[in-house]
């Protein structure tokens, strides 16, 4: 058994284990865990400094998850956009292929918390292969994103089979893998895995760091190992109230990611997922953070602040208002707030 598999086996999975470690009441969490599963890897558990801290809030169940705070379980209409149970085809040239139904650690704010880790929502090998067949018979698809669940919980052998089948499809240009393994299970990023990924280029990894305390030496080693294998790594952070909704926290995170050769790619506004209202911020908060980051961080360190619109309408970027007036003489606002006249004429 490999180290990462041992860590999975030793993960915390019950309220009673939480109660024993942190001297809290297990009973208040049992009802939440009956609806939304609990799993925290030993690596991620060791990052918790105490109840309510930024790591705790991301992985420990909260009774507020049972609140009926949104009308839809599936606000992005993924199931309506699914030609097969594990295929989401929202954009003409891109397909989301759900290849796993479980995660190493269950994030309490997950977009797919209605199904990931829940009984009856496992993904079978047959469903994965049917999804690959769908890609093969759909020539418009040029980009395939493997997600779930956590794709890297599968064995190297199975992942190799999936990647090789996708690589044999002539119209597939790019393969992406969405994973939180570098954050919660960095031991999974082995030399053998990186050798496999190196043979599958062009391949991109999207990972998911939300707080500077997640940038551990083990996570750094995992990210640098991927980069050394020639795998471009991008990060998608979710804006979470009480976790990272301050410009200083995100600036520290984004600077740290660049040191690990990870490009901050998206800052996601919270999806309108039922049971996640206690994580939600106002849009103004995100815009104020982005305005504060502009000018104080390298452009390489500043992600796109995006909202994934309900109903499967797609992602849109949100930006602070820097253009105050257009015309032959535009009025623009600098990051400092200073207003600057800018000539907007094109000589003949």
State yes or no: is 94 an active-site residue.
yes
Candidate list 90, 108, 180, 225, residue with the active-site label: 90
Active-site annotation holds for 90 = yes
Which of the following is catalytic: 271, 274, 280, 305?
Answer: 271
Instruction: In whole angstroms, give the CA distance from residue 112 to residue 118.
Output: 10
Annotated catalytic residue, options 33, 59, 103, 194: 103
Annotated catalytic residue 107: yes
Active site residue 143: no
Q: Are 97 and 87 a contacting pair, CB within 8 Å?
A: yes
46 is catalytic: no
| Helix 125-136 vs helix 156-167: crossing angle, to nearest 10 | 20
Tokens of residue 65, six digits: 């998850």
- 114 part of the active site: no
Who's near 2: CB < 8 A, 6+ residues apart?
Answer: 187, 190
Of 64, 91, 133, 134, the catalytic one is: 91
Annotated active-site residue in 33, 59, 110, 223: 110
280 has catalytic annotation: no
Catalytic residue, from 39, 59, 74, 107: name it.
Answer: 107
Q: Is 59 a catalytic residue?
A: no
Catalytic residue among 64, 94, 213, 333: 94
Point out the residues that are catalytic: 90-91, 94, 103, 107, 110, 112, 271, 308, 315
């Amino acid at each position: 058994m490999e180290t990462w598999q041992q860590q999975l086996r030793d993960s915390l999975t019950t309220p009673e284990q939480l109660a024993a470690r942190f001297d809290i009441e297990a009973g208040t969490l049992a009802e939440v865990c009956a609806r939304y599963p609990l799993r925290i890897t030993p690596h991620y558990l060791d990052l918790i400094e105490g109840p309510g801290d930024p790591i705790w809030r991301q992985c420990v169940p909260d009774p507020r998850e049972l609140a009926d705070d949104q009308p839809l379980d599936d606000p992005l209409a993924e199931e309506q956009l699914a030609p097969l149970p594990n295929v989401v085809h929202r954009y003409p040239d891109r397909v989301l292929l759900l290849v796993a139904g479980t995660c190493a650690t269950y994030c309490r704010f997950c977009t797919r918390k209605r199904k990931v880790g829940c009984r009856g929502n496992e993904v079978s090998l047959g469903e994965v292969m049917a999804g690959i067949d769908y890609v093969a018979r759909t020539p418009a698809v040029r980009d395939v994103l493997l997600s779930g669940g956590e794709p890297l919980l599968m064995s190297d052998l199975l992942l190799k089979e999936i990647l090789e089948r996708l690589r044999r499809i002539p119209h597939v240009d790019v393969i992406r893998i969405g994973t939180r393994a570098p954050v919660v299970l960095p031991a999974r990023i082995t030399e053998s895995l990186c050798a496999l990924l190196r043979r599958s280029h062009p391949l991109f990894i999207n990972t998911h760091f939300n707080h500077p305390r997640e940038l551990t030496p083990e996570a750094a080693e995992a990210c640098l190992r991927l980069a050394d294998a020639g795998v471009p790594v991008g990060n998608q952070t979710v804006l979470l109230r009480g976790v990272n909704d301050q410009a200083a926290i995100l600036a520290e995170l984004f600077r740290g990611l660049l040191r690990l050769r990870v490009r901050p790619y998206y800052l996601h506004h919270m999806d309108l997922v039922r049971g996640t209202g206690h994580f939600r911020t106002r849009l103004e908060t995100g815009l104020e953070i982005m305005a504060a980051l502009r000018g104080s961080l390298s452009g390489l360190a500043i992600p796109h602040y995006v909202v994934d619109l309900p109903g499967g309408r797609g992602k849109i970027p949100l930006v602070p208002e820097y253009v105050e007036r257009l015309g032959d003489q535009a009025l623009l606002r600098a990051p400092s707030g200073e207003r600057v006249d800018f000539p907007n004429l094109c000589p003949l």
